[in-house]
Chains A and B, each alone.
Chain A
């Protein structure tokens, strides 16, 4: 099989805008699933509401496209009622961190054996570009017309603090590393959280001086650095620019997990 066989070919091309990073993240996820050799009938994709959450509908396996923010409670139900299933959650930053924020920290605390893939485009894409809890300070959106004045959530650090067993962050530019991290997360028992910074050219890039899709991806490439490297810079007393995003693996540990296959 190849990753293409996991797509519902009759539903392609998908509705995403030209250059939307969500499509890349679906590719990487399906390549990881394909490499692991999971079976279609044993795999379930669950998602909430948002552009990112439409991903589950393009995949041949059974999937649940649930209500806004509630992907994790639905996924918890699926996994605990049948621990033999592989459950993967697709979610957006608004879906996971705003309306679904509480579900997120409690799913991490319970450490349920899910793989949660968050496509963090730092904006509410589907509803027209309102600011989300991860919109960086100073960024323009329809609800922050003078630039966001709030600090943004660091979702990966939040997941580490709340107790997830595996946490990693990559971007939709780092396709190989992202695929490897998703595979590692899927193999780890307990909650695996993979945050991917993605581009939303329509609602984020267009408002924030990143007019071309490639500009936004180049920006991600130039404004990310490995976590370990940033730590080393801090230790040696160097100043780390505030707009650099830490990428890489954040944690891999063995806390007691729920819903692990018997």
Chain B
């Protein structure tokens, strides 16, 4: 699965940058076409849910999706599945 931020819904509050244990969300630097500074994703393939949702058959973590007040974060299915090489530093 792939992590995406909906450019039309995000209002740039940066709450997602506060909760992700992997710090995948970084405060953005440029305005998008709606005039919002949307956070940037740093190697989003590290997201627990993207990696392991299929294996466990349930949503894992999901903190960013829950806290996002504007329902702007979601996971998208990848078709066909694109394998990622994931390096996680502890």
Q: Within the complex, which residue of A16, A21, A176, A214 is in contact with B18, where a contact is CB–CB below 8 Å? A: A214
Q: B66–A176 contact, CB under 8 A?
A: yes
Q: Within the complex, which residue of B8, B9, B66 is in contact with A179, where a contact is CB–CB below 8 Å? A: B66
A18 proximal to B (CB < 8 A):
yes
Q: B63–A213 contact, CB under 8 A?
A: no
A53 to chain B: closest CB distance in Å? 16
Q: A172–B67 contact, CB under 8 A?
A: yes
Q: A12–B71 contact, CB under 8 A?
A: yes
Interface residues contributed by chain B, number (CB under 8 Å): 20
Q: B69–A175 contact, CB under 8 A?
A: no
Nearest chain B residue, comparing its CB with the CB of A27: B66
B13 proximal to A (CB < 8 A):
yes
Q: A176–B63 contact, CB under 8 A?
A: yes
B23 proximal to A (CB < 8 A):
no
Interface residues of A in 162-220 (CB under 8 A from B): 172-173, 175-176, 179, 201, 212-214, 217-218
Q: A218–B69 contact, CB under 8 A?
A: no
Q: B9–A12 contact, CB under 8 A?
A: yes
A125 to chain B: closest CB distance in Å? 13
B72 to chain A: closest CB distance in Å? 8
B68 proximal to A (CB < 8 A):
yes
Q: A213–B14 contact, CB under 8 A?
A: yes
B57 to chain A: closest CB distance in Å? 14
Residues of A within 8 A of B63 (CB): 175-176
Question: Which residues of A pack against B, CB within 8 Å?
Answer: 4, 7, 12-14, 16-24, 27-28, 31, 172-173, 175-176, 179, 201, 212-214, 217-218
Question: Which residues of B pack against A, CB within 8 Å?
Answer: 8-9, 11-15, 17-19, 63, 65-72, 74
* Beyond known contacts A14-B70, A16-B70, A213-B15: 15 more, CB 8 A cutoff: A4-B71, A12-B71, A13-B70, A13-B71, A18-B11, A18-B12, A19-B11, A19-B13, A19-B15, A23-B69, A23-B70, A27-B65, A31-B66, A201-B13, A213-B13
Query: Mind listing 7 A-B residue pairs with CB under 8 Å?
Result: A4-B71, A13-B8, A16-B69, A18-B13, A27-B65, A214-B15, A214-B18
